Copies of this chain bind each other. A is one copy, B any other.
Amino acid sequence: MGGFRFELLATDGRARLGRMLTGHGTVDTPAFMPVATQGSVKSLAPSDLRAAGAQIVLANTYHLMLRPGHELVRELGGLHRFMGWNGPILTDSGGFQVWSLSKLRRIGEEGVEFRSHVDGTQRTLTPESCVAVQHALGVDVLHPLDECLAHPATVAETERSLALTERWLGRALAAHRGAGSPGALFGIVQGGSYEALRRRAVESIGALDLPGHSIGGLAVGEPKPVMYDTTELVAGLLPADRPRYLMGVGKPTDLVEAVARGVDLFDCVMPTRNARNGQAFTPDGPLNISNARFARDGAPLDPECACEGCRGFSRAYLRHLFMARELLAYRLLTLHNLTFYLGLMRDMRRAVAEGAFGPFRSRFLTRYGVESVGDAADSPADSEA
């Protein structure tokens, strides 16, 4: 594993074209990371991910620590070798999953105690152990333990939480530097929907000279304009020479709007999870393959798409597979949705390189189904759900 580096190649308005260099290869940004929750992007093999255009994947610290266990993964040569993916891997801190999946959480200055959702065992995560787990996995980009607040939270709650997250970051950084790991530890900017707290978070994290910055605490139930405005605020404050990762976002329109606000990196379960529920993304908006109108439709899912699902099969066949609960349906729809997401990122990179991101954004949103593009923060992106 070599070092971590980010190169900013071009900008167009606030949209950025860049390149993230890691010990496991290069990632062209803006980039979308498919989610390999348990060390597998559900239904796909690494060769499928490459075919879809993926350059980096995200794995979940929380899930892998509980099953199969990070020490087992370390013994077997690290996560890249274990899951057969030789490109870069980024892990989250596990904090979000502790809050959303586990039971009996007890949070203290030291860290968090919780019960595993897999086997009910009592577990702890501290800033130090969280970093150690990610070192055992051997990932390229890791994250410090943070507290995740539900939306809405009061300013007092958010301020208390932010202070704890900042103290935890200090401990995580010390543990990370002490271990001499080649992975890049990103800082997570929290602060809820409070501008003053977000500013304070950026300032305090900025002093630490971290290789990248993650925008946390969004896409957790807040109104869309709050998400867009907070993203714009934080991205505008972060240093230009480091990558900016908007955690857990989002819908295709959200990706376009966040790139327009200066974000470089994304992850979301939407393309993979929605595929398993029959939703396919297309340039004309999402469609649900179970819809009766596709029963005798001999056209491909998306005539403009080159994925395996769109090249070889009709909507009628994909609908049949889905209605009959055939496993192939989940794989082909997942492959399609990731091909769509990753193609969208590639199109955005090209648009920034050509200085044509504005017209691209306008064209995409119009066709995808967002009618008013004046103030994107007001656009009815939720209508796609």
Q: How many copies does the complex hold?
A: 2
**Bound complex: CA A323 to CA B72 (Å):** 14
Q: Is the CB of B328 within 8 A of A327?
A: no
Interface centre among A43, A83, A328 (most CB of B within 10 A): A328
Q: What B residues does A76 contact at CB under 8 A?
A: 296, 298, 314, 316-317
Interface centre among A39, A40, A320 (most CB of B within 10 A): A320
Kindly supply a per-residue 1/0 record for chain A positions 316-332, scoring 1 wherever the CB is within 8 Å of any chain B CB and 0 otherwise.
11011101101110111
**Bound complex: CA A170 to CA B327 (Å):** 39
Known: A68-B320, A316-B82. A45 touches B326 (CB 8 A): no
Known: A68-B320, A330-B327. A296 touches B43 (CB 8 A): no
- A119 smallest CB distance to B (angstroms): 11
Question: Quick check: is A171 within 8 A (CB to CB) of the other chain?
Answer: no
Partner of A45, one of B46, B312, B319: B312
Q: Is the CB of B317 within 8 A of A42?
A: no
**Bound complex: CA A314 to CA B84 (Å):** 9
Task: List A158-195 residues whose CB lies under 8 Å from chain B.
Answer: none
Q: Is the CB of A312 within 8 A of B67?
A: no
Q: What B residues does A327 contact at CB under 8 A?
A: 42-43, 327, 330-331
**Bound complex: CA A302 to CA B3 (Å):** 36
**Bound complex: CA A296 to CA B321 (Å):** 35
Q: Is the CB of A328 within 8 A of B45?
A: yes
Q: Is the CB of B42 within 8 A of A326?
A: yes
Q: What B residues does A332 contact at CB under 8 A?
A: 45
- A138 smallest CB distance to B (angstroms): 15
**Bound complex: CA A47 to CA B308 (Å):** 9
Q: Is the CB of A312 within 8 A of B84?
A: yes
- A5 smallest CB distance to B (angstroms): 29
Task: List A282-325 residues whose CB lies under 8 Å from chain B.
Answer: 295-296, 298, 308, 312-314, 316-317, 319-321, 323-324
Question: Quick check: is A44 within 8 A (CB to CB) of the other chain?
Answer: yes
Q: Is the CB of A317 within 8 A of B82?
A: yes
- A235 smallest CB distance to B (angstroms): 34
Q: What B residues does A328 contact at CB under 8 A?
A: 40, 42-45
Q: Is the CB of A326 within 8 A of B67?
A: no
Q: What B residues does A152 contact at CB under 8 A?
A: none
- A115 smallest CB distance to B (angstroms): 18
Q: What B residues does A316 contact at CB under 8 A?
A: 68, 72, 76, 82
Task: List A325-349 residues whose CB lies under 8 Å from chain B.
Answer: 326-328, 330-332
Q: What B residues does A68 contact at CB under 8 A?
A: 295, 316, 319-320, 323
**Cβ contacts A to B, 22 pairs, < 8 Å:** A38-B321, A38-B326, A39-B317, A40-B326, A42-B328, A43-B327, A43-B328, A44-B328, A45-B308, A45-B312, A45-B328, A72-B295, A72-B316, A75-B296, A76-B298, A76-B314, A76-B316, A83-B317, A84-B312, A327-B330, A327-B331, A331-B331
Q: A47-B312, A68-B319, A76-B296 are in contact. List 12 more A-B contacts (CB 8 A).
A: A38-B320, A38-B324, A38-B326, A39-B317, A40-B328, A43-B327, A45-B312, A68-B323, A76-B314, A84-B312, A84-B313, A327-B330
